Amino acid sequence: MNKDNMPTQNNFYPQNSIRSDFAIAMSQMYREEVPLYQDLLDVVEEINSELINSNEISEEGITDLSRINLERHGAIRLGSKEELNLISRLFNVLGMEPVGYYDLSIADLPVHSTVFRPVKRDDLKENPFRIFCSVLRPELLDSEIQEKVKEVIASRNIVSEKCLSLITKFEEESGLDEEDSKDFVKEALEIFRWHKNARISKGFYKELLSINSLLADIVAFKGPHINHLTPRVLDIDLLYQRMSEKGINMTATIQGPPRRKIPILLRQTSFRALNEEILFPDIEGSELLGTHRARFGEIEKRGAALTPKGLGLYNELLNKVLIEVKQSDSNYLEKLAESFKAFPDDIESLVKETLVYFSLSVDEDTDSLKAKLEKIPQISQQISMIQNLIEKDSTYIFKPEFVEVLLSLQLAGVIKIELLTYEDFLPVSAAGIFKSNIVEGGYVKAKDGQELSSQEDLEKALTKKILDPFKDYEAESLASIKAGLEKISNLL
């Protein structure tokens, strides 16, 4: 049991358990709402257990398999900064912080986004539930529509009184007991439930849809229904094939990097948004039938977290392909694989060229570790020298001479270099997922000067800083390297 899960003296229910309960409840709700999601989960579990049993994935440097079947991310879309502020307080109860800023106006969508997720490794291990959270940018709309949209959004309450009072209690007392936590999960879940009754007239809905379908999805309903839940699969190509064989209508391709020996970042694909029946209020009070497309199912395969240099190379190789072919072209994956031949595909080169973040694991058997260390000449001086250099300047961990030392220690069986799993999202992939599920309507182009990043705007609404994922991976690498070296030096 990890220490966060020990009962505290206040008798608080652990935050990791509130998040786990919430993720399970959300998954259960979505299974009932969207039966295709259950089919997807079945195929994911089938593939994951096949691969875990066959040991085929050990080559990939994946070390977080224990959490694999728990793993999900979801997505919601909010209408205003006020809603974001409330939702941020709600996710705080679940131990989820805003990490990373995604400006979707680069894809002509009127939203920008952040991801709420656990940050510490131990918490991610307990339950890595994440929510991709987008917020409407009304300033990108024409002024007349802008005013109408703001009015409709301002007139709805997405969080119940009871939920709000539990959030406040958590904030005041720094925790909730088990009974309050269970009530909180129940109340919080309601926010993300699907409601087939639209709050706006069919005419206004159509007007919004013609501007952009995300806009219609955000404005028309009582609250921010969850629009997809994404399990993590170990072989996404196999999943794509099996889902297609079942006759499920998948989007054209797999977003992100190509299939590789050592997976990097994130690969995602989805089944198309369902066409669902909705009801509009009529001016006379009767209801009118309509349909709405928003909810879909997505699957992802996670790989190694890239450094800024690695991400730069990724973007360069991807953009080269996107200039030549479209993602929906039949030779897209082939072209992608060809372009990515320039991206090293073994752990040693990835680390040497500082394209990835990594951690160290040290042989746990002290006697065998000692025996191995004794065989290395001048090991004691070498370790204390690199420890000093890291103390002076932590970026030393990315220097080729340091990596050489690590590789020689790995060769001697003293340590093992492991890659950190990427815990975040891809701006281009996210835009691709958004767009592949938009079937009608237009796009919203930012006007001159408006495409400027507005991370600050989001932070003001959140009343906290959005964490920089790179800093987080770097800190984790550093901490793991220091701890590993310390363990070794204690034996010398």
Binding interface with ligand OOG (CB under 6 A): 75, 77, 132, 134, 227, 268, 298, 425, 429-430, 433-434
Q: Extract the tokens encoding 230.
A: 């994404």
Helix (H) and strand (E) counts for the chain?
Answer: 19, 11
In the complex with ligand OOG, the residue whose CB is nearer, 390 or 462, is 462
Write the interaction track for Ni ion spanning residues 398-437; mark x where CB under 5 A is met and - where it is not.
----------------------------------------
In the complex with ligand OOG, the residue whose CB is nearer, 352 or 435, is 435
The site partner of 425 among ligand OOG, Ni ion, none (C-beta below 5 to 8 Å per kind) is: ligand OOG
The site partner of 94 among Ni ion, ligand OOG, none (C-beta below 5 to 8 Å per kind) is: none
Contacts of 339 (CB under 8 A, 6+ apart): 317, 318, 320, 321
CB of 484 to Ni ion, least distance (A): 34
In the complex with ligand OOG, the residue whose CB is nearer, 92 or 227, is 227
In the complex with ligand OOG, the residue whose CB is nearer, 126 or 424, is 424
The span from the CA of 153 to the CA of 11, in Å, is: 38
Helix (H, G, I), strand (E, B) or coil at 464: coil
CB of 428 to ligand OOG, least distance (A): 9
In the complex with ligand OOG, the residue whose CB is nearer, 129 or 132, is 132
3-state secondary structure 324-376: HCCCCCCCHHHHHHHHHHHCCCCHHHHHHCCCECEEEEECCCHHHHHHHHHCC
Q: By CB under 5 A, which span of 61-69, 199-207, 230-238, 406-414 interacts with Ni ion?
A: 230-238
- Residue 112: its H or E element: strand 111-117
Buried b (16+ CB within 10 A) or exposed e, 453-478: ebbeebeebbeeebbebbebbbebbb
Phi-psi region of 463 (alpha: psi -120 to 50; beta: other; left: phi over 0): left
The span from the CA of 243 to the CA of 249, in Å, is: 8
CB of 118 to Ni ion, least distance (A): 17
Beta bridge partners of 268: 255, 300
The site partner of 424 among Ni ion, ligand OOG, none (C-beta below 5 to 8 Å per kind) is: none
Q: Where are the alpha helices (DSSP H) in 412-446?
A: 427-436
CB of 410 to ligand OOG, least distance (A): 34
The site partner of 149 among Ni ion, ligand OOG, none (C-beta below 5 to 8 Å per kind) is: none
CB of 432 to ligand OOG, least distance (A): 8
The site partner of 77 among ligand OOG, Ni ion, none (C-beta below 5 to 8 Å per kind) is: ligand OOG
In the complex with ligand OOG, the residue whose CB is nearer, 94 or 229, is 229
Residue whose C-beta lies closest to ligand OOG: 430
Measured torsion, CA atoms of residues 385, 391, 393, 394, in degrees rounded to the nearest 10: 110
Q: Where are the alpha helices (DSSP H) in 378-451?
A: 379-392, 400-411, 427-436
Give the binding site for Ni ion (CB under 5 A): 75, 230, 298
